[in-house]
Chains A and B, each alone.
Chain A
Amino acid sequence: MQHHTTILLIEIGALLFGLGMLGRLGRRFGLSPIPLYLLAGLAFGHGGVIPLSASEEFIGIGAQIGVILLLVMLGLEYSADELVDNLRSAAPAGLIDMLLNALPGAAFAFLLGWGWEAALVLAGITWVSSSGVIAKVLSDLGRVGNRETPVILSVLVIEDLAMAFYLPIATAVLAGSGLIPGLSTLGVAVVTVIAVLVVAIRYGGEISRFMSVKDPEALLLSVLGLTLFIAGVAGELKVSEAVGAFLVGIALSGPVAHHATQILSPLRDLFAAVFFVFFGLSTDPADVPPVLLPALGLAVLTMLTKVITGYLAARRVGIALPGRLRAGLALMPRGEFSVVIAGLAVAYGVDPRLAPLATAYVLITVVTGPMLARLPDYRWFKELVRRRMAAQQRATKPLPTPE
């Protein structure tokens, strides 16, 4: 027992230290740490270079807390009013986004001859862009003030909200309960989410006033406790832990949300890193090469559909061609959510090729996406777009002939 504990400390300590060094290295190249954590997980896990034996259970629990913290922080970023307003104004963009990005994923799974459970999972993986990575890209490229940025953000918000419905269905279907119980879970989820939104809009102030901002320690414990508790209850009700955590984040508002974000950020960074490593751990690196080509194909296809999504969504609100392209290219990276969904599939033992495919897919999009998002800032790209716009103008509007 004693020996086991010390080995655990050594493994966890070495792992976290290694991740810290990797993250630092990644920052130097402007790379998101997510792919590095995934690669680290691949290197350590089953069939990896250095298997972690003593700490795997510990990492597993840490990973679950990581998902919950990722989601509660996401919820804290948005207020209930914002979500509802967005749903009203940008619902068509969200619908385009779903059709253009979820369907190719599902179709691809069928093409590979996988079952429809795998299709459902892959649809989710290709659908959701990474709000964390994209927010970072936007601020790195100085585009927060751009006029197409609200379009990008509202697509992300709707995706995140849609997850509150998608995850319960996916959980129910994967648990093998079939479509009818799946639909009833969906009913429960819809009612819960709407109830939480209504309560948050009406009584968000009271809930938040219940927690004091003045004492950071008490705030940390109460917010973290409430989140884990609700996530656990949601898990028991088969609505998925992640959704429960997301809803807690939404229900909290005002100064409590602001302070909770600051207090929980370091915890989220720690456990999210553990989560990405854990996902890599559960994948055998030997399984990756065979699915590399399909993953590449899927990545190219669904990155293209994201560009179209952004293009159409930006056109809806009257953004010009360069802005539409910027919106489309920015939306490409997939990240934390895709891994959360794939993790769900791994937990329920869907097709064993799914996890390596998802790993490769996320690695490709999350590394190339932010690089491609820079394209519109290059001079040659701007020149190309300008020439194209000029040509379009000539085509649609003939020059007025002098009298």
Chain B
Amino acid sequence: MRVRVEQTPLPGIGVRHDLVTSSGRTVGVVSHRNGRRDLVLYDVDDPDSSLASIPLTDDEAEALADVLGASLMLGQLAGLRQQAAGLLTEQIALPAGSPFVGRKLGDTRTRSRTGASIVAVLRDREVIASPGPAFKFEANDVVVAVGTRKGLDGVTAILAGDDDG
């Protein structure tokens, strides 16, 4: 179902976007003209009034958008697993002794060697969505990969340093 985001101009202040969730709550974002952003939560009993208005800096807004976007992507991937037979999503922990700790994702060449893609990395309860080839692994990273059974086994082997390709 399409979500309807409503845009309301606030003369002299900026613009407000809001949407009503399927659970009946209203969430909005007030974008001030000076670049400030407020995340606004509305009252259940009185949907016209804001319960809380949380000012967000540029970085905070970006981080929040990232987290929401990443969790959304993981959710869609989970849906994909059920839809496309034979395509799997797996979380693979980077072993402590992996040769790729401190090295770039591009160095693993997982996609060209196994056909499976690394779509996200979980680090310190944070989700890094679609990491690029320049992304550097750290110890305790968990890699989210999509591919066939064989491809995913290949990724596990590469990250563990077990393969000699």
Contacts and interface: CB of A to CB of B under 8 A. Distances in A.
Best-surrounded residue of A145, A148, A322 (most CB of chain B within 10 A): A145
Nearest to A135: B12
Contacts of B11: 77-78, 82-83, 86, 150, 153-154, 156-157
4 residue pairs, one from A and one from B, having the closest CB atoms: A145-B40, A323-B48, A77-B12, A147-B48
A126 interface: no
B50 interface: yes
Interface of B: 8-13, 16, 18, 28, 30, 33-34, 38, 40, 42, 45-50, 52-53
B48 A145 contact: no
Contact of A144 (B18, B38, B45, B46): B38
A27 interface: no
A334 interface: no
A128 to B, nearest CB: 15
A194 B8 CA distance: 25
Given A258-B33, A258-B34, A143 B9 contact: no
10 contacts: A135-B12, A142-B52, A142-B53, A146-B50, A150-B8, A153-B10, A153-B11, A153-B12, A258-B33, A322-B48
A399 to B, nearest CB: 20
Interface in A281-327: 319-320, 322-323, 326
A32 interface: no
A322 B50 contact: no
Contacts of B42: 145, 147
Nearest to A262: B34
Interface of A: 77-78, 82-83, 85-86, 131, 135, 142-150, 153-154, 156-157, 258, 319-320, 322-323, 326, 382, 386
A150 B49 contact: no
A148 B48 contact: yes
A147 B12 contact: no
A157 B9 contact: no
Contacts of B49: 143, 146-148, 322-323, 326
Given A319-B48, A323-B48, A144 B9 contact: no
A188 B10 CA distance: 30
B46 A85 contact: no
Best-surrounded residue of A85, A131, A146, A157 (most CB of chain B within 10 A): A146
A47 B30 CA distance: 49
Given A258-B33, A258-B34, A145 B50 contact: yes
A145 B38 contact: yes
Contacts of B30: 144-145
Contacts of A86: 11
A145 B40 CA distance: 6
A156 B48 CA distance: 19
Contacts of A145: 16, 28, 30, 38, 40, 42, 50, 53
A335 to B, nearest CB: 15
A280 B161 CA distance: 83
Contacts of B38: 144-145
A323 B46 contact: yes
